[in-house]
Structure 1
Amino acid sequence: MSAIAVFGGSGFIGKNILNISNQYINISLRDSDWKKQVNDEEIWLNLVGKAHDHKGVATQEDYDYVNVQLVKEIFQAFILSKATTFIHISSLAALEEFESNRPLSEEDECHPVSWYGQSKRMAEKWLMEQQLPANKKLIILRPPMVHGPGDKGNLGLLYKLIARGIPYPLAAFNNRRSFISIDNFCYFIEQIINNKEKMKTGIYHIADDEPLSTGEIIEVISRITGRNTWNIAIPKFLIQRIAKIGDVIPIPLNTNRLRKMTSNLLISNQHIKEILNIDQLPITATDGLRKTIKSFSAID
């Protein structure tokens, strides 16, 4: 396998990708001469993106710059390079952010809502509109939330809640969501690179084979932490009223946050699995979750 240029290697996903082998080479956009770092790598993997805004200070322009403008700059350099394959990591948020009671496919209509989701979709549309030379191809991947050791996302917040013995107040909503463990994410990347001749230019969904319910996640956290956490099933109508108050007054819960925490959001990975002839992913969704939660426990 030839060398792979990785853009955005300093993040959670990037660090795991670079650990696969020394064939993955980090290209830092912080270097003004980053284009000179790229040599004869046949494949470019773009992980550059802005997702989290923990301090609540990011603007729409911030998302557009990182998730759209930088993508354009990298892709335009790819077109002028000798590389043949551009793999761009988008997000399920470009398609749907709040709710789907059936697994979403690549053909479903997009409904991004947040600045993050809209910027991710804008980049997808721009990329798919570009004219590609005959010897080049573009592969866009849409993962749901990626988790694993070193992850600082929402699973970590839920872990802290349960580990401290704080009752989970939204037990009345037993929703199911698709996730992807970092192990399965890296597996998809390797399979795409090793079988790139099977892949056509287009958008593909990647995810764990099984969705997880909130109840299952809490059960895994409880077992690992040894906490017998009480789940409080506050009536849905009361939680929804509190969330509406949060739309006006700055409290931890508002309508959008409640929808993200309690709705079903499912995605299908069948299309890419059929193309790559994948019968089953390396680890189950539950095993991947256990690995992530154990990593939180080790540093708690």
Structure 2
Amino acid sequence: MNTILVTGAGGFVGRMLCQALVNQGYATRGLVRAMGVQVEGVEYYPVDLVHDDVPFKSLTCVSCVVHLAGRAHVLKDQEQDPLSSFRLVNCEATLKLARQALEAGVKRFIFMSSIGVNGSHTDSEPFDEMAEPHPHADYARSKFEAEEKLKLLLAGTTMELVIVRPPLIYGLEAPGNFARLLKLVASGAPLPLRSIRNARSLVSIENVVSFLIRCIDHSEAAGQLFLIADGEDVSTSQIVEQLALGMDRRARLISVPAPILQAGLALLGRKSLYTQLCGSLRVDTSKARTLLEWHPVTDTLMQLQRVGRLYATQRNC
């Protein structure tokens, strides 16, 4: 039986991945910063990846490490040097873990990166694996540096590297901007997004988990970079409408010309928020579908409705 080690096992993606691995019969271990909600059947190890070595026992007989742990986007970062903080966690701690995994004889190392490595938005063509990287923020820079240093570290070794760059991952327990959007839609607050005609690729938590499991065993995944998404692009207004539909409420969208919205957010010091809300970011998933014969298990519109429905049910409990 394959033994899989998941870092960040207590996080949004980590919990779902651990549960799916257990359900599919994998022996599963999880690294967490602190013991919290646990998945039955997972062997947990509390560890601070920055300051501590990974317990040798946790890597013994492990065939694959799925590295999800990291420092993600921080809306109001209080660090004096945010880039250094991102590098410490997302790059240096990753390399330390990879070295230990290599010494322990792990066969494959899956690194969860970010579509931000490619850039903050797309124009005429979607991002694919051949697109030149243009990391646009400290978080994305640290992820790209980790990718490049992992390639150097593992070149010519027995441990195979797989890099996965997802766009925004959504689901009921998603953190960050998606959680805020759920709350806004549920509140009935008017949102100035009706005039926005963008196209964004998203990926559901179910599809992320499905793809990661595909990467664990598929021989063709070795040494590859993959961009993944649900496979259908939606506008920000469509996202709001589908969430509201699932909540059984009307989406309160108002029309504000894009230049005015952009100028207003710039005055508030939230220029990047305009790109996130109103810019397009499209992902070409052809490589994942053809090389690994992977197909998404959920589609965007129906899954957004489902998330909205679950959120409304949870709030009413």
Letter in 1 for 2:30: N
Match of 1:24 among 20, 28, 38: 28
Q: Answer yes or no: is the 8 Å Cα contact 1:94–1:117 preserved in 2.
A: yes
Letter in 1 for 2:66: L
Q: Which deviations, in whole Å up to 9, do the C-alpha atoms of 1:137-157 show, x marking residues without a partner?
A: 110111111111211232221
Match of 2:245 among 211, 223, 231: 223
Name which of structure 1's ranges 18-27 and 255-264 shifts more when overlaid on structure 2: 18-27
Aligned pairs, number? 292
Letter in 1 for 2:18: L
Letter in 2 for 1:202: Q
Cross-structure match for 1:47: 68
Letter in 1 for 2:177: N
Any residues of structure 2 matched to 1:117-136 within 5 Å, and which? 117-136=140-159
Return the offset for 1:33.
5.0
- SS state of the match for residue 240, structure 2? helix
For residues 133 and 53 of structure 2, the distance between their equivalents in structure 1, rounded to whole angstroms, comes to 36
Any residues of structure 2 matched to 1:103-252 within 5 Å, and which? 103-195=126-218, 197-247=219-269
Cross-structure match for 2:41: none
Cross-structure match for 1:250: none
For residues 149 and 236 of structure 1, the distance between their equivalents in structure 2, rounded to whole angstroms, comes to 29
Q: Which deviations, in whole Å up to 9, do the C-alpha atoms of 1:178-226 show, x marking residues without a partner?
A: 111111111111222232x122313111111112222221221221223
Cross-structure match for 1:273: 289
2:285 is aligned with 1:285: no
For residues 232 and 104 of structure 1, the distance between their equivalents in structure 2, rounded to whole angstroms, comes to 30
Q: TM-score, length-normalised on structure 2?
A: 0.86
Quote the RMSD (CA, aligned, Å): 1.9
For residues 63 and 302 of structure 2, the distance between their equivalents in structure 1, rounded to whole angstroms, comes to 34
- SS state of the match for residue 188, structure 2? coil
Cross-structure match for 1:260: 276
Letter in 2 for 1:273: R
Stretches of structure 2 that go unaligned for 5 or more consecutive residues are: 32-45
Letter in 2 for 1:281: P
For residues 235 and 178 of structure 1, the distance between their equivalents in structure 2, rounded to whole angstroms, comes to 23
Q: Answer yes or no: is the 8 Å Cα contact 2:59–2:106 preserved in 1.
A: no
For residues 177 and 124 of structure 2, the distance between their equivalents in structure 1, rounded to whole angstroms, comes to 21
Moved over 4 A (4+): none
Return the offset for 1:95.
1.2
Q: Answer yes or no: is the 8 Å Cα contact 2:246–2:307 preserved in 1.
A: no
Q: Which deviations, in whole Å up to 9, do the C-alpha atoms of 1:7-36 show, x marking residues without a partner?
A: 111211111111113322103433835232
- SS state of the match for residue 134, structure 2? coil
